[in-house]
Amino acid sequence: MYEKILNYLQKNIYPFHMPGHKGRAEFFPPEGLQMDLTEIPGMDVLSAPVGIIGDFQRKAANFFGASHSFFLVNGASVGNLATVCALVSGRKIFVARNSHVSLYNGLVISGASPTYFLPEITPGGLAGGVSPDTFENLPENAAVFLVSPTYEGFVSDIAEIAKRVHARGGILCVDEAHGAHFPFHAKFPTHALACGADIVVNSLHKTLPAVSGCGFLHVNSSRVDVARLRFFLNALQTTSPSYMLMAACDFMLEKLWREPEWFQNYTTRLEKLRKELAAAKKMRLLGSEMIGSSGIFAMDEGKLLFEVGAPAEEISDFFAREYKLQFEMAQGKHLLAMTSVADTDEGFARLVRAATDFSVSSGWCD
């Protein structure tokens, strides 16, 4: 495995995929392996934090606007699992059909009998946003689970959905795994907690420069039994959390909080990149024109979602082979390139060059 990874790295393929650190060392503590400690005196305990881990969680809660923020060391997936298990007792469960596999696993583990609802579908066949009208006749005291933003970057009208769910005494849970970067700059959609969601799960490594496997579960509601939720988090997470990963996430977040120019520069460069990519006629870059249709209330501009005329898998292979670019997703007629604050000018330039060359070549259909 180690040799295979080394061989791959030597190919100099640029990553337009997660994790969001894109291999840049400045987002990782220089002490590295020395920080791989355990629950010795002074290092706190994740399951009952009163020291440095507790301080870290309170800082995160303050930034994200939560009453409680729980650090996840088994990824955002364990946040979804614990949330389902904590809420299943005594209420009906409503689940979006485009939910992450971890949510379905939570339904199985908890024994829930969910009612499913569908997001709206885009003209290209992708799961778009969820209409607030879906919850017009919601039963009293229900728990609603939905995904926003989606994997492709489509954001639902969470504020209006929260109003509808709360009017029926319900709890709104948002899988915002792909939206942890939203609170860092006004150019991105408003994050779900600020829109009134009761429980929000964020993954850190998807769109922030964090190492894989870490996330947050945020609560901002008196409707949620926090003690019950904490029990299931402790029951489902490892009892041996990696202090190296926890410290790395703290290091990364502190860096971004102290140096807002990272996100200011990122959004400026991203705007320029999208304008340049718009000229690539054989790769249609989807954007703000999607807003207002298919239940889409807003778009994450950091997700570069292309519609292409040839099989996306073939085009992705071509880009990897000829331009050393790896996309996050290639499926059907869609390509997805994920960007982050850690992307380089060279990486953006390589993508523009590849897309431009591809659009003037005659070997692919329009």
Q: Where are the domains of the chain?
A: 2-18+260-360, 34-257
Q: Which amino acid does the sequence have at 143?
A: A
As to burial, measured by CB atoms within 10 angstroms (0-12 exposed, 13-18 middle, 19+ buried), residue 143 is buried
Give the largest CA-CA distance in the chain: 66
Which CATH number is 34-257 given?
3.40.640.10
- Predicted local distance difference test score (pLDDT) of residue 281: 84
Q: Tell me which residues of the chain have a pLDDT lower than 70.
A: 361-366
- Predicted local distance difference test score (pLDDT) of residue 346: 97
Which position has the token pair 């992705």?
316
Tokens, residue 38 = 């355990």
- Predicted local distance difference test score (pLDDT) of residue 164: 97
- Predicted local distance difference test score (pLDDT) of residue 364: 56
With a CB cutoff of 8 Å and minimum separation 6, the contacts of 133 are none
Short-list 180, 364, 201, 338, CA closest to 283: 364
> Do the beta carbons of residue 291 and residue 299 sit within 8 Å?
yes
Please state whether the peptide bond connecting residue 183 to the residue before it is cis, i.e. omega within 30 degrees of 0. Answer: no
d(CA 80, CA 173): 9
> Do the beta carbons of residue 87 and residue 110 sit within 8 Å?
no
With a CB cutoff of 8 Å and minimum separation 6, the contacts of 264 are 185
Instruction: Count the Cβ atoms, other than its own, within 10 Å of residue 345.
Output: 11
- Predicted local distance difference test score (pLDDT) of residue 222: 94
Architecture per CATH, domain 2-18+260-360, reads as Alpha-Beta Complex (3.90)
d(CA 149, CA 168): 24
Helix axes 101-110, 75-87, angle to 10 degrees: 40
d(CA 350, CA 357): 11
With a CB cutoff of 8 Å and minimum separation 6, the contacts of 329 are 151, 335, 336
> Do the beta carbons of residue 249 and residue 57 sit within 8 Å?
no
Q: What is the dihedral of CA 275, 280, 282, 283, to 10 degrees?
A: -40
